[in-house]
Chain A
């Protein structure tokens, strides 16, 4: 038993390192999601007109919607490749439980893409007409939101593993669960911009991220185990 405690952090670290390097390089890495995010942002004024009062009114909501959609993109690759390559068979014979493996993979993917999107979010909002002083709060919100998206998305990715319907199915499964963070996140920006207190929206956003962190690994672990049996 005592050896196990020594071994596990080592294994966890090596898995995190491997997946992080893969999420940064494989299939164009974060470039794909970032490009998609920026393209969506560019489409917003093109579809709504460049009138700055309209834009600044809808900017927070549309930015959050774009963030949610861009977060979907990398989910298909999250487990699929390692599942097809047979890597999960090695991972299961190692010291980490499936729940931890799944969580680490989600976190690596999030660090590789979700966090990049979060860092871009303040700039997107400012370009769409939000005031510069909203940058910090929108960054915090986007970090929490993209983390929730990554983990809830991981549940969808693990459930649809091996179906070869990939992206569309994951989007269908996952988007309803993206409703709360989108509402809380857009609400946070709304509150900040109208001068209302932001603590409620911020704590709800935090709570949902924690909820995802608690629920996600259990669901992903069960789904992966069933996919690998």
Chain B
């Protein structure tokens, strides 16, 4: 199935008609999710601030998931030389970077009323910051190499090295945290989550996923078309 779809033309043909529905689904889910966000009750401890969580948590999940997807696509691009996998990895990067930035910004906005500071150097936030730097490095490297195939290969290697390193960095940051953390900060993961808060979270998560898939498909398609244009244009200079 994957091999069958790895042909860029077939991929375009299969997904182009489905794409608007995915975009529509994302819109509907966002409308529903945002309604639930504001309709849900205040948290007894966090008050209205808890609503930031409905954006923050899915964004943070997506930040990690998109990087994982990039890693998997890079692996396929590197090992099996699938041109589509290269396009998929490249297309996912800026989306992932935006989700990561969103997670950092919403985290910071939530932290101010809750912790009394815009930024707490705790293990989780620091790791997400490093993840953001990975995205920036990936995009910068892709933009710096002129030859597209080489750019795809080099960034794929970078993505895989990053994927292997992320747990190590996460571990080191956690270890550093145990050395330096004095008073413990308020942690948001309580033992249970009330169902009226679970619903908006679930719907928003689904909405983020749909949004990602939609944007991703659009960007992959754009990538395929650009590549096609460039190649044929270069050939035309050779009459």
Contact = CB atoms under 8 A, between A and B. Distances in A.
A19 B159 CA distance: 29
Interface string B138-167: 001100110000100110011011101100
17 contacts: A155-B161, A159-B141, A163-B144, A163-B145, A169-B141, A172-B136, A175-B133, A176-B130, A176-B134, A177-B165, A179-B169, A179-B173, A211-B168, A215-B164, A226-B157, A227-B154, A229-B150
B78 interface: yes
Interface residues of B, number: 28
Contact of B158 (A165, A173, A175, A183): A173
A163 B176 CA distance: 35
B172 interface: yes
B172 A179 contact: yes
B179 interface: yes
B113 interface: no
Interface string A178-214: 0110011001001000000000000010001001000
B137 A183 contact: no
Contacts of A91: none
B137 A226 contact: no
A69 interface: no
Contact of A226 (B150, B160, B168): B150
A159 B198 CA distance: 44
A180 B171 CA distance: 8
B179 to A, nearest CB: 6
B118 to A, nearest CB: 22
From DSSP, what is the main secondary structure of chain B's interface residues? Answer: helix
A180 B150 contact: no
A68 B109 CA distance: 32
A180 B140 contact: no
Contacts of B158: 159, 173
Contact of B78 (A165, A173, A179, A222): A222
Contacts, number: 76
Interface of B: 78, 130, 133-134, 136-137, 140-141, 144-145, 150, 153-154, 157-158, 160-162, 164-165, 168-169, 171-173, 175-176, 179
Contact of B150 (A175, A177, A227): A227
Interface of A: 155, 159-160, 162-163, 165, 169, 172-173, 175-177, 179-180, 183-184, 187, 190, 204, 208, 211, 215, 219, 222-223, 226-227, 229
Contacts of B164: 215
Contacts of A215: 161, 164
A160 B162 CA distance: 15
B127 to A, nearest CB: 9
Contacts of B176: 183, 187
Contacts of B136: 172
Nearest to B174: A183
A155 to B, nearest CB: 6
B82 to A, nearest CB: 15
Nearest to B150: A226
A180 B172 CA distance: 5
Contact of A172 (B140, B150, B154, B162): B140
B168 A180 contact: yes
A160 B144 contact: yes
Nearest to B160: A219
A160 B168 contact: no
A163 B151 CA distance: 10
Contacts of A177: 161, 165, 169
A187 B137 contact: no
A222 B157 contact: yes
Given A159-B157, A169-B140, A172-B137, A184 B145 contact: no
